[in-house]
Amino acid sequence: MKQTTTNAAVTGAAPAGASDEKSAAVAVQQMFDEIAGRYDLLNHVLSANVDRLWWWRTARKFRHILSQPNAAVLDLCCGTGDMALALRRQAPDAARPYVGADFSHQMLRRGAAKFQGNGIIAIEADALQLPLPDSSFDLIVSAFGFRNLANYEAGLREIHRVLRPGGEFGILDFAEPGGLFGKIYAFYFRNILPKIGGMISGKSGAYEYLPASVKRFPPPKEMQEKMSALGFTDVSWTKYTFGIAGLYRARKPMSEIR
């Protein structure tokens, strides 16, 4: 399913050459299709395997939901499915199947082997127009995918739509740490990481896009304001590994019953 967008100015991810939401969405989809074969390897290499810790910490934050056998759970922009697997490890054996959604066909193909036999159903779908009913999930988590949407506010509205009243969501994504460590990390992130990523994947553009997309993504305070403005409550941000990444959390109020 192709990402459905308008020709409006880009208010989310903006790969080089994108002039509107539609072209931004197409560029992101093509980029992830192209790097899917080396995506997992690069994640582990470029993060020194810290990404595994981030997924585990995020899943543990939602144990109170994941421990419920009938909890309906969605991994949004699931990529090759590592976040979905981390969530599933916190679930009881008899838990209902979880859903992993992404609009990159090649990423989902890479995740198929992980999903099989692990209680995860994959759907190829647009995060800005999900083919899912209103108020259908108890938990939605997105790990390193939400930042790539062509319209952040539209993405939050769609999460709000498909969450049940009282449901929770989490966005795990990169951030820009401050202080001396932030300056050192920024040099690595903008100058060294893209070269390593380009060498291993053979697609330099994708790893030049990564630091640019993090710089464009709203900082924690602004992101939390967007979430609150759209009706979410209990909004928070927890930094991981000195602020290299962090987890946004929020809840859809119980009063919002359709």
Q: pLDDT tens-digit profile of 136-167?
A: 999 999 999 999 999 999 999 999 999 999 99
Mean pLDDT within 14-24: 80
Q: What tokens were used for 231?
A: 């009706």
User: What pLDDT was estimated at residue 197?
Assistant: 85
The four Cα atoms 194, 195, 197, 203 give a dihedral, to 10 degrees, of: 90
Is a pLDDT exceeding 80 seen at residue 132?
A: yes
Q: How far are the Cα atoms of 43, 90, 108, 112, 121 from residue 116, in angstroms, in the given order? A: 22, 17, 12, 6, 8
3-class secondary structure, 91: coil
Geometric angle at alpha carbon 95, from 256 and 252, rounded to 5°: 15
Q: How far apart are CA 240 and CA 220, in angstroms?
A: 13
**Per-residue confidence (pLDDT) for residue 258, from 0 to 100:** 44
Q: What is the pLDDT of residue 135?
A: 97
Residue 38's pLDDT is: 84
Examine the pLDDT at 111 and tell me if it is beyond 80.
yes
Buried b (16+ CB within 10 A) or exposed e, 111-124: beebbeeebbebbe
Domain boundaries of the chain, sorted by first residue:
21-175+218-251
CATH architecture designation of domain 21-175+218-251: 3-Layer(aba) Sandwich (3.40)
Q: What is the pLDDT of residue 248?
A: 98
Instruction: Please report, for residues 16, 29, 101, the alpha-carbon distance to residue 26 in angstroms, rounded to integers and kept in the order given.
Output: 12, 5, 17
Range 122-144 average pLDDT: 97
Model pTM score: 0.92
Residue 35 pLDDT > 80: yes
